[in-house]
Structure 1
Amino acid sequence: MNTAEQVKAKYKLIALDLDGTLLTDEKHITDETKKWLQYAVDRGVKVMFSTGRGLQTAKGFWDELGLDSPMVLLNGAEIWEGPGRIKKRVFLPRDTVRDMHAIAAERGEWYWGYSVESLTGDKEWTAEMFERDWMKFGIGSHDQQCLAEIKEELLSWGTLEVTHSAPTNMEISVKGITKESGVREVCQTLGFSMSDVIAMGDSDNDAKLLQAAGLGVAMANGEEHIKSIADVITSTNNEDGVAQAIRRYVFQME
């Protein structure tokens, strides 16, 4: 590697999805990827997560990398300025959560939600949960027709953002809240533009961000429509795709 003085980064901010992107299928960050993330940080590049995960399941990776940068969690419904410094939370109306819960329960599908207090699945859901404030609600099914029908109904309300991180789920937030909206807000805080961002992802919930970023990078293991809208495609999450993209597109090394 060249010294910091010899290398100039093309982008100021690296926005990373976690599952299927930064993480291997075994939910690890490889040593090669860690090396290139540190290389970027050492050269003044901000490295952040843009993930559907909440703090409950993302914090361990944040700590593992030792990052002191903003984070966009819950598909943009929660934004952190840095470790322990919350900037913004956007909550779903409680009556909307009740209605979504009823739809999933009546159809016998699984569901979950992220509140400030917890990540709660259907097995742990109690009446008390309706008194909490939820930032993201999820519904899952192995029946594609069922998922499509639920998604159509939810979108018809006109108040929700509905996306997915896997073919068997849907992730629901307040309309207009996306990874893109979260990263855009981080850029405003840092004085960056979206053209300063290289974003990487693999699923539907990455689509708007990849299209808005200065460079949208799809993982080779990503969904076909994500690969079709991305600017470039890197290797898979199991083959150091993030590390390769940082080397090639941020520092323009072959």
Structure 2
Amino acid sequence: MYKVVASDMDETFLDGQHQIPAPNLGALARMRELGVLFVPSSGRPYQSIMANFADIDQGLMQGTYVISYNGAFINRYGDPEPLMRTLIDRASLEWLYAWAVEHRQAVHVYTASGTTYTQFLPPEEEEYVQGIAGVVRVDDSIHDLSFAAGEELVKIIFMDTDFSKCKRIGEELEPKLDPALVDITYSSNRYVEFVPAGVNKGTGLKHLAELLGISIAETIGVGDAANDLEMIQAAGLGVGVANITDDVRPYCGLVLDTHGEDGAFPELVARVLEPEHAAA
């Protein structure tokens, strides 16, 4: 019997305006009735994820948890103090930031406080991040991390609308980074992400299962891109929304017919959770 549905947020649970589609609100209510915890699992900070749920009935999320920063942090829903936290090696992030400055590469720097600093963004990315809480634009004339002085750092990502360029950047920089300190993943068809070594949404889900005292087999992981892969593989059932990327699709036990932005979770409830509980 599945007890947890852990889901990516952007392009999976949210629409293109970072809002929860109405069908997914109904699915949250039904999961609550069935006794299934819905757990947001995102590369974004906890505070940013919480902003997505600010205007809904908070009873739908009572007693659940949030996995953030690609699995680096776990919080109880509504409690800003993390139960688990992992930071990136600061020297590695500083080197990556210097590379971004040298190449005028669009960059997001994530802090443990929940602030995400952005720089060198193209207009389409500027527009995209306007709907995300906690994003602070840094003037392009600043070429050091003085804007994050005193901040603990969690990860750094580079952005390009040409996803093949993101892949090339990852391949170019991987041999220059210590694999004991930094891992590389990809998301949203425009990001290459540099995260603490050993951190991913799969390890985050495993830690949460241990915290809840349940088997990982009792979890469902839902996503759309490469940074969801480990969660999809770790979960008892790995699920992709219809817009799942081709590199992750083969690892899914189920691919839904509904795109994430259209509200895919009623389909998940109808195809997996309802039949399971009817048979119990």
226 and 148 in structure 1: CA distance in 2 versus 1, 3 angstrom threshold: closer
Q: Does 1:76 align with 2:99?
A: no
- What amino acid is aligned across from residue 107 of structure 1 in structure 2? H
Q: Does 1:120 align with 2:111?
A: no
70 and 145 in structure 1: CA distance in 2 versus 1, 3 angstrom threshold: closer
Contact 2:22 2:263 in 1 (8 A): no
- The Cα of 1:145 is off from its aligned counterpart by 5.6
How many aligned residue pairs are there? 245
- The Cα of 1:140 is off from its aligned counterpart by 1.3
2-side partners of 1:144 and 1:243: how far apart? Answer: 30
2-side partners of 1:70 and 1:219: how far apart? Answer: 22
Mean CA deviation greater in 184-193 or 86-95? 86-95
Q: How high is the TM-score relative to the length of structure 2?
A: 0.81
2-side partners of 1:36 and 1:146: how far apart? Answer: 37
Mean CA deviation greater in 145-154 or 90-99? 145-154
Q: How high is the TM-score relative to the length of structure 1?
A: 0.89
- The Cα of 1:250 is off from its aligned counterpart by 1.4
Q: Does 1:50 align with 2:37?
A: no
217 and 144 in structure 1: CA distance in 2 versus 1, 3 angstrom threshold: closer
Contact 1:204 1:226 in 2 (8 A): yes
Q: What is the identity percentage for the equivalent residue pairs of Structure 1 and Structure 2?
A: 22
2:267 equivalent among 241, 244, 250: 244
2-side partners of 1:248 and 1:62: how far apart? Answer: 25
Tell me the secondary structure at the aligned position of residue 82 of structure 2.
strand
Runs of 4+ in 1 over 4 A off after TM superposition: 143-146
Q: What are the residue-to-residue correspondences of 1:58-137 with 2, within 5 Å?
A: 58-63=49-54, 64=56, 66=58, 67-68=61-62, 69-84=64-79, 85-117=81-113, 118-122=115-119, 123-124=137-138, 126-137=145-156
Q: What are the residue-to-residue correspondences of 1:21-60 with 2, within 5 Å?
A: 21-60=12-51
Mean CA deviation greater in 116-125 or 101-110? 116-125
- What amino acid is aligned across from residue 105 of structure 1 in structure 2? V
Contact 1:165 1:171 in 2 (8 A): yes
- The Cα of 1:240 is off from its aligned counterpart by 2.6
5+ residue gaps, structure 1, are 1-9
Contact 1:77 1:182 in 2 (8 A): yes
Residue of structure 1 in register with 2:127 after alignment: none
- What amino acid is aligned across from residue 112 of structure 2 in structure 1? V
5+ residue gaps, structure 2, are 120-136
- The Cα of 1:200 is off from its aligned counterpart by 0.8
Contact 1:218 1:230 in 2 (8 A): yes
Q: Does 1:201 align with 2:223?
A: yes
- What amino acid is aligned across from residue 136 of structure 1 in structure 2? K
Q: CA RMSD in A?
A: 2.0
Contact 1:21 1:242 in 2 (8 A): no
Mean CA deviation greater in 162-171 or 12-21? 162-171
1-side partners of 2:67 and 2:40: how far apart? Answer: 6
Q: Does 1:213 align with 2:235?
A: yes
1-side partners of 2:219 and 2:164: how far apart? Answer: 36
Residue of structure 2 in register with 1:178 after alignment: 200
Residue of structure 2 in register with 1:168 after alignment: 190
- The Cα of 1:52 is off from its aligned counterpart by 1.0
Q: Does 1:139 align with 2:134?
A: no
Tell me the secondary structure at the aligned position of residue 183 of structure 1.
helix
65 and 92 in structure 1: CA distance in 2 versus 1, 3 angstrom threshold: farther
1-side partners of 2:235 and 2:98: how far apart? Answer: 37
